[in-house]
Amino acid sequence: MRLIISCGEDWHYDLTVPGYDNFVANGIVHHNCGKSIAGAYEAWAHLTGRHRWQPDVRASPGWAMVADLENTYPVVSEKLRQVAPLDLLDSATRYIEGKGWYTNGRRMIRTKRGHTMAFRSGEGSDMSSESGSVGWLWIDEPPVVGKFGGALSRVAVAEGPVWMTFTPINRPVAWLRLRTEGDPKRGILPSEEWVQFRPRLTEADCTLEGGRVIRSAASIARQVAGYSEWERMQRVYGEWEGISDKRRLSAFSEAIVRDDMGWIDGYPLHVGIGIDHGEAIGHQVAVLLLWQEVGGRRRVHVIDEIANEGRTTEADDARAVLAMLARNGLELRHVDRIVGDINSSGKAGAGRSVNGRLTEELNDQAGYPEVLVEVDNAKKGRIDNGVRDLDLAMMRAGLAIHSRCQRLIESCRYWDGTPATESYKHGLDALRYIAGPLVAHDVTSRGSASVEIVA
C-alpha cells in the first residue's frame, strides 16, 4: 500500500460473528461491530466530547463497569482500543496487549484535557464506601444488584446518561428486568424509565430501510443452528430469559413450569411448606407445595411462594404464611409438614428458637395448636444430596412448579453454587428443606387432607 486518500465519511453496516471480532475477506481484515463496540464508542464520545450524532455532548469523566476486572477487563479494553481516538489521549495512558488500558499503573484512561475513564467490577461487595460523582456510566454485562445501585448513584448528581450492553446468558437478570420493565402480572411498575433496543437475528431486522436484505433466511438459519438451547432465545430474539448452562439443577427446563396440576383421583393429597429464614429483602422465603404418592413414587407440585420485602418478625412471617395458604383455599390444619432453616443468623438467635417462635405464632394466629415447624439439620453433604434429589425428581417428571412462583423459577434457572448467584439460593433452600426428603422418600406423612385447591 503506497497511498491512502480520504473519501469522507459515510454510513456502513456490519454484523457481529459470535465468538470472533473479525473475519478475513480476500486478504482484507473487516471488523464486525456489535453491542460492546457500540458501547465503547459512546464511552469515548462522552469522555472526549466528540459525538457524531449528539453535538451537545460535553467532555466529562465517567465509569465503565465490566463483569469482572480479572477476566473481562482485557476483553472490554480491546473493544475500546478498536475505536480509540488515540490523538486525544494523555501521554501517560497506554494500551497493553492482553491486559488493557493503564495510566501510571492504574486501570484508567486519561485524555489530554484531564478527563478520566475509570473501570469498576460488576461483582463483589457494594460501592457504598466510594465517593464522588461522574458524568456518565457504561455497564457492559449486568452487575450484581448492589453494584448496580451504587453505580447509578454516582451519575445521579450530574444527571448523566447510563447505557448498558449485554446478552443475558449465564448471568441472573430477573432483578434488572423487574427494575426496568416491572411485572404487570403482579402489578409492579418499573423503578425508572429505560429505552431498550433489541436487534433480533431475523430477516426483517437484517433488512435496510431501502429494502436491501443483508442477511438471508438461509444464512441466519446456519448461524442459529450453532447456538445451544441455553442461549438461543437471548442471542436470536434478544429475550431476557434463558437457562444458565452452569446451573446446579441441570434437569430444569420450561416443561417443569406447569399450572395444570394433573393429580390422579383416588390418591390423597398432602400439603407441605418449606421456609428459609433471613433478614435482607428477599431472604425470608417460604414455598407451598402439594404431593401425592402414586405407584411408590412421589409427585411434588410447588403451587405458591412468598418472600419478605423488608425486615420481619416471626409474627409477620406467620401472617404471610397463613395468607399464602388462604389464597390457595387452604388452612393451617391442612398442612402435613413445615420445615424451617436452622441457620437463621441474626434473625432471632438459634435456629430452634426461630422455628419455635414461628410455631407459636402460626398456632396462635390460626387457633390450631398442633402444627410444628421442624428444623432442617442437613450438613454439607446432605445439602448437595438434596440438590441432586431435586434434580433427579425434575428428570423423572416428579417435580413441577407453578408459573406464579417466579422467584423459585429464577433460582432454578440461574443458581450455580457460586457467590455471584447466592441471592438466588434462598428459594431453592426453602424448596430443598421440604421437598428434598419427599422425593428421596425420607419422610412419612402424618395423614391426608381433603382440600380444594385454588389454581
| 220, 111: one domain | no
Residue tagged 478475513 (cell numbers) = 24
Check pLDDT > 50 for residue 383. Answer: yes
Q: Which residues of 363-402 are buried (b: 16+ CB within 10 A; e: fewer)?
A: beebeeeebebbbbebeeebeeebbebbbebbeeebbbbb
Q: At CA 108, angle to CA 64 and CA 42, rounded to 5? A: 40
d(CA 408, CA 257): 10
**Three-class HEC string of the chain:** CCCCCCCCCCCCCCCCCCCCCEEEECCEEEECCCHHHHHHHHHHHHHHCCCCCCCCCCCCCEEEEECCCCCCHHHHHHHHHHCCCHHHECCCEEEECCCEEEECCECEEEECCCCEEEEEECCCCCCCCCCCCCCEEEEECCCCHHHHHHHHHHHHCCCCCEEEECCCCCCCCHHHHHHHHCEHHHCECCCCCCCCCCCCCCCCCCECCCCCECCCHHHHHHHHHCCCCCCHHHHHHCCCCCCCCCCCCCCCCHHHECCCCCCCCCCCEEEEEEEECCCCCCCCEEEEEEEEEECCEEEEEEEEEEECCCCCCHHHHHHHHHHHHHCCCCCHHHCCEEEEECCCCCCCCCHHHHHHHHHHHHHHHHCCCCCCEEEECCCHHHHHHHHHHHHHHHHCCCEEECCCCHHHHHHHHHCCCCHHHHHHHHHHHHHHHHHHHHHCCCCCCCCCECCCCCC
Check pLDDT > 90 for residue 168. Answer: no
| 296, 190: one domain | no
Question: Which tops the pLDDT comparison, 393 or 286?
Answer: 286
Per DSSP bridges, beta strands 116-121 and 62-66 are parallel
| 285, 415: one domain | yes
CB atoms within 10 A of CB 281: 13
Task: Report the pLDDT value the prediction gives residue 351, as an integer from 0 to 100.
Answer: 45
| 274, 388: one domain | yes
Give the three cell numbers for residue 220: 441466519
Residue tagged 454439607 (cell numbers) = 380
Q: Is residue 248 part of a domain?
A: no
- CA-to-CA separations, 143 to 124, 140, 149, 255, 278, in angstroms, rounded: 9, 8, 10, 29, 23
| 274, 148: one domain | no
| 308, 389: one domain | yes
Check pLDDT > 90 for residue 13. Answer: no
Cβ atoms of residues 101 and 66 within 8 Å:
no
31-40, 196-205, 306-315, 404-413: which range is least confident on average? 31-40
* Residue of 314, 311, 248, 301 whose CA lies nearest to 275: 314
Q: Is residue 246 part of a domain?
A: no
pLDDT per residue over 32-46, tens digit each? 447 888 899 999 999
Cβ atoms of residues 69 and 101 within 8 Å:
no
Q: Is residue 28 part of a domain?
A: yes
Question: Which tops the pLDDT comparison, 413 or 291?
Answer: 291
Residue 250 C-alpha from the chain's centroid: 17
Residue 48: band (very low, low, confident or very high) from pLDDT cuts 50, 70, 90: very high
Check pLDDT > 90 for residue 90. Answer: yes
d(CA 246, CA 170): 7
Task: Report the pLDDT value the prediction gives residue 382, as an integer from 0 to 100.
Answer: 57
| 224, 369: one domain | no
| 161, 199: one domain | no
Check pLDDT > 50 for residue 26. Answer: no
Residue 275: band (very low, low, confident or very high) from pLDDT cuts 50, 70, 90: very high
Task: Report the pLDDT value the prediction gives residue 327, as an integer from 0 to 100.
Answer: 95
Task: Report the pLDDT value the prediction gives residue 21, as an integer from 0 to 100.
Answer: 44
Task: Report the pLDDT value the prediction gives residue 266, as an integer from 0 to 100.
Answer: 74
Where in the sequence is the domain holding 146, given as residue range(s)?
A: 12-166
| 376, 267: one domain | yes
Q: Is residue 273 part of a domain?
A: yes
Residue 291: band (very low, low, confident or very high) from pLDDT cuts 50, 70, 90: very high
Check pLDDT > 60 for residue 311. Answer: yes
| 153, 258: one domain | no
Question: Which tops the pLDDT comparison, 33 or 293?
Answer: 293
Q: Is residue 275 part of a domain?
A: yes
Cβ atoms of residues 120 and 151 within 8 Å:
yes
Q: Is residue 114 part of a domain?
A: yes
Task: Report the pLDDT value the prediction gives residue 232, as an integer from 0 to 100.
Answer: 76
Task: Report the pLDDT value the prediction gives residue 208, as an integer from 0 to 100.
Answer: 80
Residue type, 420: A
Residue 63 C-alpha from the chain's centroid: 22
Task: Report the pLDDT value the prediction gives residue 429, as an integer from 0 to 100.
Answer: 92
| 197, 144: one domain | no
Question: Which tops the pLDDT comparison, 344 or 225?
Answer: 225
Looking at mean pLDDT, say which of 96-100, 186-190, 371-375 comes out highest: 96-100
Task: Report the pLDDT value the prediction gives residue 43, as an integer from 0 to 100.
Answer: 96
Residue tagged 395468607 (cell numbers) = 323
Q: Is residue 172 part of a domain?
A: no
CB atoms within 10 A of CB 66: 26
d(CA 24, CA 327): 62
Write the CATH number for 312.
3.30.420.280
pLDDT per residue over 128-155, tens digit each? 546 678 999 999 988 888 788 889 988 9
Residue 9: band (very low, low, confident or very high) from pLDDT cuts 50, 70, 90: low
Check pLDDT > 60 for residue 352. Answer: no
Mean pLDDT of the chain: 81
Over range 361-376, report the average pLDDT: 81
Task: Report the pLDDT value the prediction gives residue 343, as an integer from 0 to 100.
Answer: 57
| Burial (CB count within 10 angstroms: exposed 0-12, middle 13-18, buried 19+), residue 215 | middle
| 88, 143: one domain | yes
Check pLDDT > 90 for residue 288. Answer: yes
Q: Is residue 396 part of a domain?
A: yes
Question: Which tops the pLDDT comparison, 109 or 203?
Answer: 109
Check pLDDT > 50 for residue 86. Answer: yes
Task: Report the pLDDT value the prediction gives residue 8, as an integer from 0 to 100.
Answer: 62
Check pLDDT > 70 for residue 125. Answer: no
**Boundary residue ending a domain (166, 198, 228):** 166
How many domains are contained in the chain?
Answer: 3
Question: Which tops the pLDDT comparison, 242 or 349?
Answer: 242
